[in-house]
């Protein structure tokens, strides 16, 4: 028995579409200036969905049809002779064009059922789709999620314009296997690409191809994401290999997927996530079209499960752990790709943040550790070991070398040696051929996740080098008990620190177990974050913003840090 219709949800989706479509329909003959091809196609899809929906202010509107026609004319103008679309950083890009064609094909399905008033729109959409089909079928990709976006476009093309060659190409891509790991994360570990590309693409492919295994992959990813939802309604991204690793990403793009699978499977935990994703209102103009194309989305959600607290989880594949209680939500992370690849690169997990702590409105956004060791950058754990349910050890050993003269049989009279990257810098010195004297530096961080925060034990060993621990608090409060350094930063020595926002607070206490006394505010040369030469050589940085508190010294050191969240008792 189907769930009843959720009229409130449908009306909210229509209102979100109208906020986008009404301005376009208000000037239906006005050529859209500066709108990229993806925006043009999404505009057409939204306008056609509004025309079709009885809950839209544009239902049956001639102005919606006229605006769609104007946008289609602009879209056809940026479609090149190859069928791919001009514009954007990626030249003649099959995957970028696939994003547009996916919307074109969805708009075609909506227009095909919209009566004679949409015949011209339907014909224009068919023309655009047909022109792109061959290039999408034969085209290539350059990121993991592109395979599924491109495959979804080919499947949509086949759905409306059957062609066995399109399905053969889809099967060729799918034969590589969906890149989901045992923990339920896609290889890019990105909330942006999971929610906006991979999950919707796999759901479409599952529908067109009858592949339940693809829907199962989406369900696994959504189940894993439940433990990545933070108290502020965002999704954890510190472990991502894409651009969102340094961003705060909202939950709302996951709404249609949590909602659809909650309705189809009856999962109460997915229903709770769907409600949370819509808690601040629905503002996605594409959701109306999705409800028309996938009618199950319009059904009422099953009863949501209550959130279970306290809870903890560990994702070994991403080396990410979290513990959540009514008082604190703490994340510890040791899964950077930089120690293995020894470089900062797009597509690698590079974020040096290894801990976050949420205490209601008081948020410690990032804990990072800099060491001045051959300019190799901040601490990024090469290994994360689970010692117990809520105890972890993060470790990184940095090694640099001084190189000896070349052996006689490797010398050249012309002095023209190979240009080689030795992991720290590049030079025409044939580094692998030289004897070397290594210098090593090891950092270990033990983290005990508690119900009200975390205890840290930081051990910095090796030659004496300056180090600085940076605690970045989200704006809204001011550190009490720390010494101002100026420029939004403070210094903490052995006095406790309290960061309070409203009635919520985070308390920090530091103590030295071994080593010299901590640096005071007179050592501003130490009390700073150093991003390392991969950034500074080109004048860049990955530094955080916010209220930054520094603890530093000249190692070796063993330091303990107690982080405690305090919040008012809930009213019963």
Residue 528 belongs to some domain of the structure: yes
Average the pLDDT over 53-67 and give the result: 98
Residue 303 belongs to some domain of the structure: no
Which residues are within 8 A (CB) of 511 and not within 5 positions of it... i.e. 6 or more apart? Answer: 494, 559, 560
Residue 422 belongs to some domain of the structure: no
pLDDT per position as a tens digit, 124-155: 999 999 999 999 999 999 999 999 999 999 99
Domain boundary among 275, 298, 321: 298
Which residues are within 8 A (CB) of 483 and not within 5 positions of it... i.e. 6 or more apart? Answer: 490, 491, 492, 493, 520, 521
Average pLDDT, the chain: 95
pLDDT surpasses 60 at 572: no
Evaluate whether 273 touches 222 at the Cβ level (below 8 Å): yes
User: Could you tell me the maximum CA-CA distance found in the chain, to the nearest angstrom?
Assistant: 85
> What domain range includes position 167?
7-298
Residue 2 belongs to some domain of the structure: no
pLDDT per position as a tens digit, 63-112: 999 999 999 999 999 999 999 998 776 778 999 999 999 999 999 999 99
Domain boundary among 251, 268, 298: 298
The answer on 239 and 320 residing in a single domain is no
pLDDT of residue 63: 98
pLDDT band at 424 (very low <50, low <70, confident <90, very high): confident
For the domain that residue 484 is a member of, what is the CATH number? Answer: 2.70.98.70
Q: What's the total number of domains in the chain? A: 2
The answer on 215 and 280 residing in a single domain is yes
The answer on 321 and 237 residing in a single domain is no
pLDDT band at 1 (very low <50, low <70, confident <90, very high): very low
The answer on 484 and 341 residing in a single domain is yes
The answer on 91 and 154 residing in a single domain is yes
Out of 85-94, 263-272, 530-539, give the one with best mean pLDDT: 263-272
The answer on 517 and 378 residing in a single domain is yes
Q: What is d(CA 2, CA 256) in angstroms, rounded to the nearest whole number? A: 18
The answer on 254 and 149 residing in a single domain is yes
Give the number of other Cβ atoms within 10 Å of residue 249's Cβ: 22
Domain boundary among 298, 319, 344: 298
The answer on 67 and 38 residing in a single domain is yes
* Whole-number Cα distances in Å, 41 to 63, 88, 103, 131: 17, 15, 6, 15
> What DSSP line would sit under 174-214, residue for residue?
HTT---B-TTS-BTT--HHHIIIIIHHHHHHHHHHHT-HHH
The answer on 472 and 537 residing in a single domain is yes
The answer on 156 and 99 residing in a single domain is yes
The answer on 261 and 330 residing in a single domain is no
pLDDT of residue 570: 67
């Amino acid at each position: 028995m189907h769930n009843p219709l959720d009229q409130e949800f449908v009306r909210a989706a229509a209102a979100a579409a109208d906020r986008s479509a009404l301005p376009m329909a208000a000037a239906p003959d006005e050529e859209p200036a500066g709108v990229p091809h993806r925006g043009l196609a999404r505009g057409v899809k939204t306008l056609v969905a509004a025309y079709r929906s009885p809950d839209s202010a544009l239902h049956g509107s001639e102005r919606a049809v006229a605006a769609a026609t104007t946008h289609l004319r602009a879209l056809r103008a940026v479609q090149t002779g190859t069928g791919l679309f001009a514009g954007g950083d990626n030249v003649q890009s099959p995957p970028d064009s696939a994003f547009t064609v996916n919307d074109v094909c969805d708009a075609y399905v909506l227009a095909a059922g919209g009566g004679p008033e949409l015949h011209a729109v339907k014909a224009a959409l068919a023309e655009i789709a047909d022109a792109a089909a061959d290039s999408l079928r034969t085209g290539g990709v350059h990121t993991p999620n592109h395979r599924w976006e491109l495959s979804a476009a080919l499947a949509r093309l086949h759905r409306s314009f059957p062609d066995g060659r399109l399905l053969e190409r889809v099967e060729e891509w799918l034969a590589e296997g969906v890149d989901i790991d045992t923990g339920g994360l896609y290889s890019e570990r990105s909330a942006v690409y999971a929610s906006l590309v991979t999950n919707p693409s796999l759901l479409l492919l599952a529908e067109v191809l009858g592949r339940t295994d693809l829907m199962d992959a989406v369900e696994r990813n959504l189940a894993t994401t439940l433990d990545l939802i933070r108290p502020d309604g965002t999704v954890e991204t510190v472990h991502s290999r894409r651009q969102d690793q340094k961003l705060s990403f909202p939950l709302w793009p996951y709404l249609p997927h949590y909602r659809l699978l909650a309705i189809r499977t009856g999962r109460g935990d997915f229903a709770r996530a769907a409600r949370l994703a819509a808690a601040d209102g629905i503002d996605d103009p594409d959701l109306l079209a999705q409800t028309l194309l996938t009618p199950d989305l319009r059904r009422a959600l099953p009863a949501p499960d209550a959130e279970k607290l306290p809870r903890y989880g560990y994702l070994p594949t991403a080396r990410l752990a979290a513990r959540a209680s009514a008082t604190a939500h703490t994340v510890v992370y040791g899964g950077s790709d930089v120690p293995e690849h020894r470089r900062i690169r797009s597509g690698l997990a590079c974020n040096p943040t290894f801990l976050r702590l949420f205490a209601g409105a008081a948020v410690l956004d990032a804990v990072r550790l800099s060491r001045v060791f051959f300019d190799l950058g901040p601490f990024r754990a090469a290994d994360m070991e689970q010692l117990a349910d809520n105890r972890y050890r993060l470790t990184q050993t940095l090694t640099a070398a001084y190189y000896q003269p070349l052996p006689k049989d490797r010398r050249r009279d012309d002095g023209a040696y190979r240009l080689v990257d030795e992991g720290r810098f590049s030079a025409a010195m044939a580094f692998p051929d030289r004897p070397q004297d290594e210098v090593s530096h090891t950092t270990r961080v033990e983290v005990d996740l508690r119900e009200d925060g975390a205890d840290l034990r930081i051990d910095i060993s090796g030659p004496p080098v300056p180090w600085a621990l940076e605690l970045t608090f989200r704006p809204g409060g001011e550190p009490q008990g720390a010494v101002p350094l100026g420029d939004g930063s403070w210094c903490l020595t052995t006095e406790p620190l309290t960061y309070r926002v409203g009635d919520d607070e985070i308390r920090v206490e530091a103590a030295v177990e071994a080593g010299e006394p901590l640096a005071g505010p007179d050592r501003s040369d130490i009390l700073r974050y150093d991003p390392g030469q991969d950034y500074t050589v080109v004048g860049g940085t990955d530094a955080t913003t916010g209220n930054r508190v520094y603890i530093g010294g000249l190692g070796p050191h063993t330091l303990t840090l107690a982080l405690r969240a305090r919040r008012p008792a809930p009213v019963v």
